[in-house]
Amino acid sequence: MPSQLLLSLLAAAAAAALAVALPSEAAAAAPPPAPTPWPERFHAVLFTNMTQASGGGRLKMTDLYYDWPGGRNLNLVTRQLSDDPIYDVEWTNGTSYYFNSTSCRTMLFRVGILPPDWLADGAVYLGRETVDGFDCHVWTKVDFIWYYEDVVTHRPVRWNFYTGMQQHVMSFEVGGVLEDSKWQAPAYCFNDKGAAANSTTANDKIDGEIDVMTSFLRFVGGQQTAVAAV
């Protein structure tokens, strides 16, 4: 009798161990979550904190309009207490225009804008973390960006760049668009003489203001090749 009891105890223990083992084995075998592709069009408002970024910096609000079908991407960057926002209009043919009310700089890149699934390719899943009060999945890509996505809604919550720049997603409007006229670079972007003259003074300053998002888009989009400041 005691040995029979022992046997059934052992059997129960084995069953319990199996029951515990199975889910964790299943979990171990499950692939890490994949980042949600971006919607083909959206408008996001980003609170940008560059105070810890290389070279220091200010706080900014950025309106990001992503328009994949339109082959274009626009960052409207407003620095704290500034009333002259900087536009960064990127076209998928590789041309980007950075301008404010008086200066313009044109850049050519070999790659276009990021596709909606840019993050999935080559991103490393780092697990879950509570960020800005949201339970998030976290991925990193080429140690350039850390990307936080809400576990429940799948919206991006935040992304941090290796430079120290942090962008917090304050709103994320799927399908949000900006009227066509706002994408148009001003005439002084196309005046060779003026643009060249202005780019000399504009370069350093505007470089610091350009949303890192831009260089990031070009980087991870494949081999950054900022060729010419026209």
User: In whole angstroms, how close is the CB of 80 to ligand NAG at the nearest point?
Assistant: 10
Which CB sits closer to ligand NAG, 138 or 206?
A: 206
Tell me: does residue 206 bind ligand NAG (CB under 6 A).
yes
Which residue in this structure is represented by tokens 């002259």?
84
Which CB sits closer to ligand NAG, 131 or 213?
A: 131
- Collapsing DSSP to helix, strand or coil, 80 comes out as coil
Tokens of 125: 């899943």
| 41-60: contacts with ligand NAG (CB under 6 A) | 49, 51-52, 59
Tell me: does residue 199 bind ligand NAG (CB under 6 A).
no
Tell me: does residue 102 bind ligand NAG (CB under 6 A).
yes
* Helix %, strand %, coil % of the chain (to 5): 25, 35, 40
Tell me: does residue 163 bind ligand NAG (CB under 6 A).
no
Strand order in the sheet with 41-49: 104-108, 95-99, 86-91, 72-79, 59-67, 41-49, 166-174, 156-161, 145-150, 134-141, 124-131
Binding site for ligand NAG (CB under 6 A): 49, 51-52, 59, 84, 91, 93, 95, 100-103, 166, 188, 191, 194, 198, 201-202, 205-206
